[in-house]
Amino acid sequence: MLELSLHILDLAENSVRAGAKKVFISLTEDTIQNSISIEIEDDGSGMTEEMLKKIADPFFTTKTVRKVGLGIPMFAHAVKRAEGTLTIASKVGEGTKIAANFTLHHIDRQPLGDIGSTLVTLIAGNMGVDFIYRHRHDDQEYVLDTRDIKNEIGAVPIYHADVLHFIREHIKEGLQEIEAEV
């Protein structure tokens, strides 16, 4: 994966596979501290201590369709290349939180990529899950909460093409307003 948005997509999909009904995605750009942080927190099934110990091993996976799990090891490698830190906390029955911090202007930090497409993909493919995306750029903030959108659109499905188009444009305009990396 060449962009952070693709790592976010992979990690959020892990949350969905773990039975999450709410996935919080937070991205914070701090130009003064020269840092960028990504947090993904869910209310899924969580992991045991044993699973947490093995999570960075590419030959460990809970998936039954293949014998390798490269998502978290690849994300961990991206964090390490940019001299960042990665923490994973999880409790069975309560969920998981993954937090990564990078040096914002590190030469080896991957670009953010198309976060709008990532969020639209998550929303379109997972109707029963609520996604809350918070993006901070210094002292400005943009928030997208699918619970609010679902309340606003009523009986119209959130995966409807017009709704997804609206969401994509909303994200684009919101991130431009706060001068976020796009």
Question: Average pLDDT for consecutive 10-residue bins of the chain (182 residues)?
Answer: 93 95 98 96 93 68 52 90 94 96 95 96 96 98 97 95 96 96 74
Q: What residues form DSSP beta bridges with 136? A: 28, 141
Residue 12: inside a domain: yes
Residue 81: inside a domain: yes
**Spatial contact of 40 and 13, defined as CB atoms under 8 Å apart:** no
Residue 182: inside a domain: no
Q: What is the pTM of this model?
A: 0.91
Domain that holds residue 107: 4-177
Question: What is the count of structural domains for the chain?
Answer: 1
* pLDDT recorded at residue 68: 42
With residue 108 as reference, give the H or E element that holds it.
none
Residue 82: inside a domain: yes
Which CATH number belongs to the domain containing residue 53 in this structure? Answer: 3.30.565
Residue 163: inside a domain: yes
* pLDDT recorded at residue 11: 95
Residue 59: inside a domain: yes
Residue 50: inside a domain: yes
Q: Which residue from 52, 101, 55, 53 is spatially nearest to 80, judged by alpha carbons?
A: 101
Residue 87: inside a domain: yes
**Which value, in Å, is the radius of gyration of the alpha carbons in the chain?**
16
* pLDDT recorded at residue 35: 95
- Bridge-based pairing of strands 22-30 and 35-42 is antiparallel
With residue 119 as reference, give the H or E element that holds it.
helix 115-125
